[in-house]
Amino acid sequence: MDDNDKIDPAIATEGIPRRRPWRMLLLSGAALTALLLLLGFFLRDRLFSCGRAEDDLGNGFPTSVLADYVPEDSEAVLAVHVDQLRESPMGRRHLAPILHHLIRQAGGRLRWMDLLGIKPFEDLDYIQISFAPAVGGQPLWLVRGRLDRSRIQIGPDKLQETSLDRFRVWQCTDREVKQTTLLATVGDMLVVSESRGRLLAALKQASDPRPIAVRDATLREMLAAVDRQQALWLAASIKGLGSIAAVEDYMVKLVLSPLLAHAESVHGGLTCAEDVRIELHLRSATAEDAASLERALQSRCEAAPGAALWLGRNKAFLPLLRLLGSGKISREGNSVLLRCRLAAEELDG
């Protein structure tokens, strides 16, 4: 989280001792020090959460320098305002379990969260992930929240300090899968990626901010259209995202498969207040593809209530299935719009 006369300077007029100036400074300094120590004690959590990460690596970037950063090579961007979900009773009750489930499913790829001692729903305020599969780039994470130094694990087979170009970073290595993740504190954000080039590009942008433009024209258009203040928002140029063969989660496949098969772009998101709403704007290359996308989404919405049977013991996605079951779909030319809305009592079932 400042006498060169003949009278003895220690004696004031009328025989009353006068304090020496240095004693006044000493007493004032002691009082100020005590006050600062008390403030430091009572505000220690806030001070440490704002400053310790920067102190640990010492890159010295200003706050919010990467607040609107989207890498030039991005093809899709997914963001979550975790603080909005945390502050909403509906978000805490219905959406937090989904976030926890997805992070658990990511397994070892998010080992850096464990090594930093991060509890995602409690410690994070914002998560942004940019994807660049066409150029072989691993996701780049921008994370804002609080780091507690007492939880950070540093040492062999844990986090180790290293350098990337002229910047100080952490790295953690999973020797079994030969995967190394790099982490750097940038202002009030943590930047994480397995791609050295993508992390270095973010650090160079922070050290010398300049106007940048996403190279994918479709994603540029989606980013301009999407409302980034939503609790969760998505903008993607779908053509380069590839196959979902490696995706194991049934619910993720259920939602993604028609998009990858028939859409070329998507933007939209989720809002969470008195009710929960999803609005996705999808665009296909042709009217025929849009019609196929409309039918596929309609079948997903109709099947969603019964799909709860596939969840088994994991009920985290049950509210999302109920929400998808409320979906209304409309189409105009090459564009398809999906809207879902449920109140709290409807999500509870």
- What pLDDT, on a 0 to 100 scale, did the predictor assign at position 6? 40
- Per the domain annotation, does 293 fall within a domain? yes
**pLDDT surpasses 80 at 13:** no
Ranking 45-54, 99-108, 155-164, 254-263 by mean pLDDT, the lowest is: 45-54
The single residue listed with the structure tokens 């505000």 is 43
Strands (DSSP E) found in the chain: 76-80, 124-132, 137-145, 160-164, 167-174, 179-186, 189-193, 232-237, 265-272, 275-283, 328-332, 335-343
- What pLDDT, on a 0 to 100 scale, did the predictor assign at position 95? 77
Mean of all residue pLDDT scores within the chain: 79
Strands (DSSP E) found in 209-307: 232-237, 265-272, 275-283
- What pLDDT, on a 0 to 100 scale, did the predictor assign at position 243? 64
**pLDDT surpasses 80 at 233:** yes
**pLDDT surpasses 60 at 263:** yes
Between 31 and 247, the more confident residue is 247
- Per the domain annotation, does 266 fall within a domain? yes
% of the chain at pLDDT higher than 90: 47
- Per the domain annotation, does 116 fall within a domain? no
**pLDDT surpasses 80 at 27:** no
- What pLDDT, on a 0 to 100 scale, did the predictor assign at position 99? 75
Confidence band (pLDDT; 50, 70, 90) for 261? confident
Tell me 154's DSSP state. B
Q: Domain count of the chain?
A: 2
Between 211 and 309, the more confident residue is 211
In this predicted model, what pLDDT tens digit does every residue of 195-231 receive, in sequence order? 999 999 999 999 999 999 999 999 999 999 999 999 9
- What pLDDT, on a 0 to 100 scale, did the predictor assign at position 345? 76
DSSP result, 233-247: EEEEEGGGS---TT-
**pLDDT surpasses 50 at 17:** no
In this predicted model, what pLDDT tens digit does every residue of 79-136 receive, in sequence order? 999 999 888 887 777 777 777 767 666 555 788 999 999 988 889 999 999 999 877 7
Chain-centroid distance of CA 173 in Å reads 22
**Taking residues 178-205, what's their average pLDDT?**
94
Ranking 11-20, 203-212, 295-304 by mean pLDDT, the lowest is: 11-20
DSSP result, 4-50: -SSS-TTB-GGG-B---HHHHHHHHHHHHHHHHHHHHHHTHHHHHHH
Between 91 and 294, the more confident residue is 294
**Taking residues 293-315, what's their average pLDDT?**
80
CA count, 13 A, side-chain hemisphere, 134: 13
- Per the domain annotation, does 167 fall within a domain? no
**pLDDT surpasses 90 at 25:** no
- What pLDDT, on a 0 to 100 scale, did the predictor assign at position 346? 76
Do residues 333 and 280 touch, judged by C-beta distance below 8 A?
no
- Per the domain annotation, does 342 fall within a domain? yes
- What pLDDT, on a 0 to 100 scale, did the predictor assign at position 225? 97
Among candidate residues 42, 59, 79, the one where a domain is terminated = 42
- Per the domain annotation, does 24 fall within a domain? yes
Q: What domain range is 27 assigned to?
A: 13-42
Between 38 and 89, the more confident residue is 89
- Per the domain annotation, does 175 fall within a domain? no
Report pTM.
Answer: 0.79
